[in-house]
Amino acid sequence: MAGMFNSGVVFANRFTQALPADSIVENYCRQVRSAAFSRVRPTNVSKPQILALNEDLAIELGLTGLLADSTALAQVLAGNNVLSGMDPYAMAYGGHQFGNWAGQLGDGRAINLGEVVDAQNVHWTLQLKGAGPTPYSRHADGRAVLRSSLREYLCSEAMFHLGVPTTRALSLVTTGDKVVRDMFYDGNPAAEPGAIVCRVSRSFVRFGNFELPASRGENDLLRTLLNFVIKSDWKDLAHQLNNAASEKTATDVYLEWFQRVCRLTQTMVVQWMRVGFVHGVMNTDNMSVLGLTMDYGPYGWVDDYNPDWTPNTTDEANRRYRFGNQAAIARWNLYQLANAIYPVVKDAKSLQAILDKLPGEYEREYTDMMRLKLGFRQAHNCPVSLIDDLQTLLCLQPTDMTLFFRLLSGFDPQNPECRLSELLQPAFYDAGETSTQTLRSYQVWETAYRHGLLQESGDQQRRSLMNSVNPAFVPRNYLAQQAIDAAEAADLSVLNELLATLGNPYQEPVPTNQHFGSKRPDWAVNKAGCSMLSCSS
């Protein structure tokens, strides 16, 4: 079908033009060496149907020509029709998974179609997830099921509207084919509806893209990849790298690039912590060099506040990727990236100096973020002890994180009759069972909080500030599961309503969507897909 649909879109293919390709053209599972990617075409599906389409994003990317014919568009977004100018490929990369080196991984079910260039001359890669096997599929089928695909589409767009750095989602397409998965890893595989998500990002390059050639001593490839990434996405550094008259050496540029990757990565995690997001599988192959949230798998949203919570059943025993450990894991992953680029940088002392500064830099950024959540514009009015004591307070009884901070904006420090323990009752999962000791702890913290707020000016401005950083809605797992259940029964109303609501996550709820702002219902605590999830997708 290639070429039958005239989209009017011009595709750029910088990655495949600048980097070495796999010399083998056949698509079969193997170790791929001395190459950054393998050319591979998506495998056709039987009956593609668009379940969700992000038309606003399509227009932003200049893809209006693709919107004219929905039937033809479904063929493109399912991978059945490779348009003229596309140069589909799967990237080669490795990674550390749960702290252990896993060797070659690669795009096992993700196929990059090509780049489009928007009106601002920014390049965006379109990538299909679930479009069939690649040389990196490790004997898997390269497919994805509807439940995981819907979760990715939903969450990536919710994160964008929440202001969290993320890859985007252009479309969700059902394939008309069944995919067999063992959802609970209990030896009972079942056939599920297949689906494909079209993901969008300025780049899908990961830490693991550097780790794989470094592990094999392929230093020429490593340098070529590093130079490509800098020239593609870091224009000021690219100028320094290309400018012979520049005072900076290539090593200086590489170190500056690494420092920026560190900064972006930590900022991303701070934003995760702000909204209560837990990635669930922070392997190095899931870490973007642009500091974007990517690879939405067994993620979760904190309901009752718990720094030790992880949504990933695979991580249940060790809780490596638990909510409160995400910053430490990000630093560990950055250390692996530093190891990977060392053969090109060759300055261990400077790399280590950058890494040594990360904990302090993170704490400062995290503290600034928490002060905003609490409504403080002046840092001196919110001592660090107030934030530290709050973490302890939130763990004294099951407390909904999203509702707690949203309700907190209603606290009136000038009214001595306004008591936090009463104001926050809707956020408590066991309301009415608050112990005397917990009430006393709330009173102590309230006194310090009230004192700090009274030093600030403009109570209405404070509330507006708090409501701009503390969302009223997040895509809780049980909400996503309700949308999945309905979609599998051919009912898209739940998904559409949820997407519309999460497109304005900081607005006060209206009666028609008020249930989206409620805390997790009791029935969802142990229901499959509503709390913890596996990597099976």
107, 285, 295, 304: the active-site residue:
285
Digit-coded pLDDT (tens) for 313-357: 999 999 999 999 999 999 999 999 999 999 999 999 999 999 999
- Please, are residues 482 and 494 in contact by the beta-carbon 8 Å criterion? yes
* Domain co-membership, 507 together with 426: yes
Mapped onto helix, strand or coil, the DSSP state of residue 127 is strand
Q: Given pLDDT bands bounded at 50, 70 and 90, which one contains residue 248?
A: confident
Dist CA 284 CA 306 (whole Å): 24
Digit-coded pLDDT (tens) for 162-180: 999 999 999 999 999 999 9
* Domain co-membership, 344 together with 196: no
* Domain co-membership, 522 together with 492: yes
Rounded to 10 degrees, the C-alpha dihedral 218/219/220/221 comes to: 60
Given a cut of 60, whether residue 446 has pLDDT beyond it is yes
Q: Is 25 a member of any domain?
A: yes
Mean pLDDT of 238-259: 88
Q: Is 226 a member of any domain?
A: yes
Residue type at position 224: T
What pLDDT shows up at residue 242? Answer: 86
The pTM of the full predicted model, rounded to 2 decimals, is 0.96
Q: Is 80 a member of any domain?
A: yes
* Domain co-membership, 20 together with 162: yes
* Domain co-membership, 276 together with 172: no
Q: Given pLDDT bands bounded at 50, 70 and 90, which one contains residue 2?
A: very low
* Domain co-membership, 415 together with 365: no
Dist CA 31 CA 15 (whole Å): 20
Q: Given pLDDT bands bounded at 50, 70 and 90, which one contains residue 189?
A: confident
Digit-coded pLDDT (tens) for 395-434: 999 999 999 999 999 999 999 999 999 999 999 998 778 8
Average pLDDT, the chain: 94
Q: Is 6 a member of any domain?
A: no
Determine what percent of the chain is predicted with pLDDT higher than 70.
Answer: 96
Active site residue 285: yes
* Domain co-membership, 165 together with 117: yes
Which of 204, 226, 256 is where one domain is finished?
204
* Domain co-membership, 359 together with 304: yes
Given a cut of 70, whether residue 438 has pLDDT beyond it is yes
* Domain co-membership, 242 together with 106: no
What pLDDT shows up at residue 486? Answer: 96
* Domain co-membership, 141 together with 259: no
What pLDDT shows up at residue 513? Answer: 77
200 versus 190: the higher-pLDDT residue is 200
Given a cut of 90, whether residue 227 has pLDDT beyond it is yes
Which of 371, 386, 406 is where one domain is finished?
371
Given a cut of 70, whether residue 373 has pLDDT beyond it is yes
Mean pLDDT of 252-262: 97
- Please, are residues 315 and 533 in contact by the beta-carbon 8 Å criterion? no
* Domain co-membership, 227 together with 196: no
Mean pLDDT of 290-303: 96
Per-residue HEC secondary structure of 257-313 comes to HHHHHHHHHHHHHHHHHHHCEECCCCCHHHCECCCCECCCCCCEECCECCCCCCCEH
Which of 317, 338, 371 is where one domain is finished?
371
Instruction: Residue 216: give the domain boundaries.
Output: 208-371
**390, 436, 446, 450 from 417: Cα distances, Å:** 21, 19, 12, 12
Digit-coded pLDDT (tens) for 13-62: 999 999 999 999 999 999 999 999 999 999 999 999 999 999 999 999 98
Spell out a b/e string for 315-324, using b for 16 or more CB atoms within 10 Å of the CB, else e. beeeebbbbb
* Domain co-membership, 186 together with 215: no
Q: Given pLDDT bands bounded at 50, 70 and 90, which one contains residue 104?
A: very high
What's the total number of domains in the chain? 3
